[in-house]
């Protein structure tokens, strides 16, 4: 077995923008004449799609909305996200990302994104950061109806990579996921992938209990050593 692809989560792995999302979700609830409790966003929303997050927050307040209305709310939030990002002179990308992408490409590994964020938000950041050319594969929150920890997003990523590269014959166990939350780690593992937990959102020791590898920073990931582990699993 060999390592053939690296799949990145987006918020919390590529960009440090969770505080922006929390602020916008809180504002969305206020506009619906609702409030959010301290710590509730972190408990319910981290690692999950905006759709799942907002739907559960509304349900906990006795509000059951149609999928159409929920989509309208998420579109409003996305428009607000664009405005907030436009105010930022330098995007809060995590250090080490460029070098990790270089390492992956130099080893001919496919790279992609599997995220609960909607495509509009992901494209905005990738285009502004000049990273879009590296991430041809994106499975976003509007591509699937489920949310992490459900593995569907990761399995869809494997399917799409095989469609794009018919000779790749990619299996889930030949992918490495990079995640920062428990829901994300569980999703990748349920898809049959090994996972690197990066301590951007939770402490190292908490991620270490669930991930196959744990790092403090993206720059700590040694792909050569990871590849050796994959090769040792052959047979």
Calculate what percentage of the chain has a pLDDT beyond 70: 99
Distance of CA 71 to the CA centre of its chain: 20
As a whole number of angstroms, the distance between CA 134 and CA 148 comes to 23
pLDDT value, residue 131 = 96
Q: Domains in the chain, start-ordered, CATH in brackets?
A: 5-16+91-233 (3.40.50.1000), 17-87 (1.10.150)
pLDDT value, residue 231 = 87
Distance of CA 28 to the CA centre of its chain: 22
Helix (H) or strand (E) run with residue 152 in it: helix 152-164
Long-range contacts (CB closer than 8 Å, 24 or more residues apart) made by 141-146 = 141/49, 141/50, 141/51, 141/115, 141/116, 141/117, 142/118, 143/119, 144/49
How many residues in the chain?
Answer: 235
**List of residues 6+ apart from 20 with CB closer than 8 A:** 81, 84, 85
- pTM for the model stands at 0.94
As a whole number of angstroms, the distance between CA 136 and CA 112 comes to 7
What pLDDT, in 10s, does the model give residues 86-140? 999 999 999 999 999 999 999 999 999 999 999 999 999 999 999 999 998 999 9
Question: In which band, very low, low, confident or very high, does the pLDDT at 8 lie, cut at 50, 70 and 90?
Answer: very high
Helix (H) or strand (E) run with residue 98 in it: helix 97-106
- Whether 20 shows a pLDDT value over 90: the answer reads yes
Query: Measured on CA atoms in the order 59, 61, 22, 186, is the torsion positive or negative?
Result: negative
As a whole number of angstroms, the distance between CA 230 and CA 97 comes to 22
């Amino acid at each position: 077995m060999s390592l053939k692809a690296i799949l990145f989560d987006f918020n919390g792995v590529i960009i440090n923008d969770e505080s922006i999302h929390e602020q916008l979700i809180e504002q969305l609830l206020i506009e619906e004449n609702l409030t959010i409790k301290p710590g509730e966003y972190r408990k319910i929303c981290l690692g999950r799609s905006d759709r799942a997050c907002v739907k559960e927050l509304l349900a906990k307040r006795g509000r059951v909305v149609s999928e159409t209305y929920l989509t309208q709310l998420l579109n409003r939030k996305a428009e607000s996200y664009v405005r907030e990002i436009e105010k930022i002179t330098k995007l809060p990308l995590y250090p080490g990302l460029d070098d990790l992408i270089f390492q992956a490409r130099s080893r001919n590994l496919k790279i992609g994104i599997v995220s609960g964020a909607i495509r509009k938000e992901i494209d905005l950041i990738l285009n502004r950061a000049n990273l879009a050319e590296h991430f041809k594969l994106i499975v976003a929150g509007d591509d699937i109806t489920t949310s992490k920890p459900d593995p569907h997003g990761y399995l869809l990523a494997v399917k799409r990579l095989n469609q794009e590269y018919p000779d790749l014959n990619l299996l889930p166990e030949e992918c490495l996921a990079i995640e920062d939350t428990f829901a994300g780690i569980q999703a990748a593992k349920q898809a049959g992938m090994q996972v690197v937990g990066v301590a951007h959102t939770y402490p190292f020791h908490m991620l270490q209990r669930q991930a196959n590898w744990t790092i403090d920073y993206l720059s700590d990931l040694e792909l050569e050593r990871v590849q050796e582990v994959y090769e040792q699993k052959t047979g």
